[in-house]
Chain A
Amino acid sequence: MSKILPLQDAGPGDNSLTAFDVEKVRADFPILAREVYGKPLVFLDNGASAQKPRAVIDCVREVYESYYANVHRGAHYLSQRSTDAFEEARVTVAKFLNAKTEDEVIFTSNVTEAINLVAATWGRKFLGEGDEVIITEMEHHANIVPWQLLREEKGIVLKIAPIRDNGEFVLEDFKACLNPRTKLVAITECSNVLGSRVPIKEVTRLSHDQGALVLVDGAQGIVHQPVDVQDLDCDFYAFTGHKLYGPSGIGALYGKWDVLNTMPPYQGGGDMIERVTFEKTTFKEPPHRFEAGTPPIVQAIGLGAAVNYVADLGMENISAHEHGILAYANERLKAIEGFKVVGDAPDKAAIISFLVEGLHPFDVATVLDRQGVAVRVGQHCAEPLMDRLGIEGTVRASFGLYNTREDVDALAGAIEKAKELLA
Chain B
Amino acid sequence: MSTELSNLERYQEFVDSLELIDDEDMRFEYIIDIGKRANDDDFPEVFKVDANLMHGCMSKVWIADRIEDGRHYFSGFSDAIIVKGLVTMMIESFSGLTGDELQDITAEHVRHLNLGALTTQRQVGMMAMLEHFQKLGRRADESQAAE
Binding site for B on A (CB under 8 A): 37-38, 359-360, 362-363, 366-367, 369-370, 377-378, 421-422
Asked if residues B25 and A362 are in contact (CB atoms below 8 Å), the reply is no
Separation of A422 and B84 alpha carbons in the complex (Å): 12
B64-92 to A contact mask, C-beta < 8 Å, 1/0: 00000000000000011111000000000
Q: A366-B119, A366-B122, A377-B58 are in contact. Are A360 and B79 (CB under 8 A)?
A: yes
B29-63 to A contact mask, C-beta < 8 Å, 1/0: 10010001000000000000000000000110000
Known: A37-B24, A378-B58. 9 other contacts (CB 8 A): A37-B25, A360-B80, A362-B58, A362-B59, A362-B80, A366-B122, A367-B82, A369-B119, A422-B32
CB distance from B32 to the nearest CB of A (A): 6
Q: A363-B80, A370-B25 are in contact. Are A421 and B32 (CB under 8 A)?
A: yes
Asked if residues A360 and B59 are in contact (CB atoms below 8 Å), the reply is yes
Considering the complex, give the chain A residue whose CB is closest to the CB of B118.
A366
CB distance from B124 to the nearest CB of A (A): 14
Separation of A378 and B28 alpha carbons in the complex (Å): 21
Binding site for A on B (CB under 8 A): 24-25, 28-29, 32, 36, 58-59, 79-83, 119, 122
Q: A377-B58, A421-B32, A422-B32 are in contact. Are A366 and B25 (CB under 8 A)?
A: no
Nearest 7 Cβ contacts at the A-B interface: A360-B80, A362-B80, A362-B59, A363-B80, A363-B81, A366-B82, A363-B82
Separation of A38 and B25 alpha carbons in the complex (Å): 10
Residues of B within 8 A of A38 (CB): 24
Residues of A within 8 A of B81 (CB): 359-360, 363, 422
CB distance from A210 to the nearest CB of B (A): 41
CB distance from A365 to the nearest CB of B (A): 9
Asked if residues A370 and B28 are in contact (CB atoms below 8 Å), the reply is yes
Residues of B within 8 A of A366 (CB): 82, 119, 122
Separation of A178 and B119 alpha carbons in the complex (Å): 47
CB distance from B106 to the nearest CB of A (A): 25
Residues of B within 8 A of A421 (CB): 29, 32
Separation of A422 and B81 alpha carbons in the complex (Å): 7
Residues of A within 8 A of B80 (CB): 360, 362-363
Residues of A within 8 A of B28 (CB): 370
Please name 22 pairs of A and B residues whose Cβ atoms are closer than 8 Å in the assembled complex, sorted by A: A37-B25, A360-B79, A360-B80, A360-B81, A362-B58, A362-B59, A362-B80, A362-B83, A363-B80, A363-B81, A363-B82, A363-B83, A366-B82, A366-B119, A366-B122, A369-B119, A370-B25, A370-B28, A421-B32, A422-B32, A422-B36, A422-B81
Interface centre among B25, B29, B32, B80 (most CB of A within 10 A): B80
Separation of A422 and B33 alpha carbons in the complex (Å): 8
Residues of B within 8 A of A360 (CB): 59, 79-81
CB distance from B99 to the nearest CB of A (A): 31
Separation of A363 and B32 alpha carbons in the complex (Å): 9
Residues of A within 8 A of B59 (CB): 360, 362
CB distance from B31 to the nearest CB of A (A): 10
Interface centre among B24, B29, B81, B122 (most CB of A within 10 A): B81
Interface centre among B59, B79, B83 (most CB of A within 10 A): B59
Separation of A366 and B59 alpha carbons in the complex (Å): 12
Separation of A360 and B81 alpha carbons in the complex (Å): 8
Residues of B within 8 A of A37 (CB): 24-25
Residues of B within 8 A of A367 (CB): 82
Residues of A within 8 A of B58 (CB): 362, 377-378
